[in-house]
Amino acid sequence: MRALLRWYGASPLHLLAFLGCFGLAGYAAARLVPSQPLGIATWFLGAVVGHDLLLFPLYSLADRSMAAVIRHRTAELPALPWLNYLRVPAALSGLLLLVWFPLIVRLRTRYQASTTLSPSPFLWHWLAVTGALFLLSAAALALRIRTLPSERPPHTCRLGRRGR
């Protein structure tokens, strides 16, 4: 028994907790999967791959590109977290697009036929909100620059390097 547990690598309680988890998940999955095994497996796997290997690399790449641009443009500017004034509105706009893209890009959905509502305003709403977010961010940055202590000489920005 002791050798078995050493092989397992954790306490028996650990094993029991996970058996409970797989028992419940299996019970639910047995009611879900047989109807469309391939489709449902694809969707579960697709959910993991879609986030971890698609969405995450894409937004990381976008973030690092932004950081690289800022790093090359701010040599003569005061030290401020410039990156976040670009990063935050861009990310919020991207988040809204991620959630509402079926309506924003007008995918072929049942929306118009079912609700009698037009999907055409959503693109404009999203663009307007995006514009407002960048304007707000620019205003916040302008305010920040104005309130910088004037006696301090501008020095090279060291921020905006790789990573967060």
Partner 1 sequence: MSDTEHQPAGSPAAGSPSGPARRHPLRLALPGDLPGPFRRSFWRSPVRGPWLASVLGLLLLGGVLVLFVTGLLSYAAYNPDLSPVNDTTPGKGWLGFYLFSWPTRPEWLYQVNQGLHVTLGLVLVPILLAKLWSVLPRLFEWPPLRSPAHAVERLSLFLLVGGGVFEFATGIMNIQQWYVFPGSFYTLHFYGAWVFVAALAVHATVKFPAVIRALRSRGLLRELRVSTAGTRQEAPDASPLVSPAPAAPTISRRGVLAFAGAGSLALLALSAGQSIGGPLRRTALLAPHGQAEGSGPGNFQVNVTVAESGVQARQTGASWRLILTGPGAGRPVTLTRGELLAMPQVSVRLPINCVEGWSTGDQEWTGVRLRELARLAGAEHPANALVESLQHGGAFGRVVLSAGQVSDPDSLLALRVNGADLSPDHGYPARVIVPASPGVHNTKWVAGMTFAS
- Which of the residues 124 through 163 are near partner 1 (CB under 8 A)? 125-126, 128-129, 133, 158-163
C-alpha angle 73-76-81 in degrees, rounded to nearest 5: 65
Rule CB under 8 A: choose which of 22, 61, 68, 139 binds partner 1.
22
Q: Please state, in angstroms and rounded to a whole number, the distance separating the CA atoms of residues 54 and 101.
A: 16
Residue with smaller CB distance to partner 1, 27 or 153: 27
Rule CB under 8 A: choose which of 62, 77, 78, 111 binds partner 1.
111
- φ and ψ of 132, to 5 deg: -65, -40
Sign for the CA dihedral angle at 108, 111, 112, 114 comes to positive
Rule CB under 8 A: choose which of 95, 135, 142, 145 binds partner 1.
95
Helices (H), 74-120: 82-104, 111-115
Rule CB under 8 A: choose which of 3, 75, 103, 147 binds partner 1.
103
Nearest approach, Cβ of 67 to partner 1 (angstroms)? 7
How many positions of this chain bind partner 1 (CB under 8 A)?
73
Nearest approach, Cβ of 55 to partner 1 (angstroms)? 8
Rule CB under 8 A: choose which of 54, 58, 107, 135 binds partner 1.
107
Q: Please state, in angstroms and rounded to a whole number, the distance separating the CA atoms of residues 44 and 32.
A: 12
Q: Please state, in angstroms and rounded to a whole number, the distance separating the CA atoms of residues 31 and 21.
A: 16
